[in-house]
């Protein structure tokens, strides 16, 4: 037994509810944005060329 048994049970009930399952699916399907400028432009050859252009003109 634990002091927090009621809280555990309440949280389990909340997570297993219809809305809890919906929110779990929503969290797992969310994608983080790229961390840096380079990550945004390195997905294809066009992004690579654009990145090279910006680096050359920034100097």
Closest CA to 40 of 56, 30, 51, 24: 51
pLDDT tens digits, one per residue of 11-56: 999 999 999 999 988 888 877 665 565 555 555 555 566 666 667 7
Q: Where are the beta strands (DSSP E) in the chain?
A: none
- CB contact at 8 A, 50 and 41: yes
Distance CA 16, CA 21 (A): 6
pLDDT at position 16 is 94
Q: Cβ atoms within 10 A of the Cβ of 42, count? A: 14
pLDDT at position 30 is 75
Closest CA to 42 of 31, 52, 56, 32: 52
């Amino acid at each position: 037994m634990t002091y927090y048994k009621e809280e555990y049970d309440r949280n389990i009930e909340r997570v297993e509810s219809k809305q809890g399952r919906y929110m779990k699916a929503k969290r797992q399907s969310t994608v983080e944005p790229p961390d840096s400028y380079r990550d945004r432009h390195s997905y294809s050859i066009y992004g690579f060329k654009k990145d090279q252009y910006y680096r050359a003109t920034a100097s």
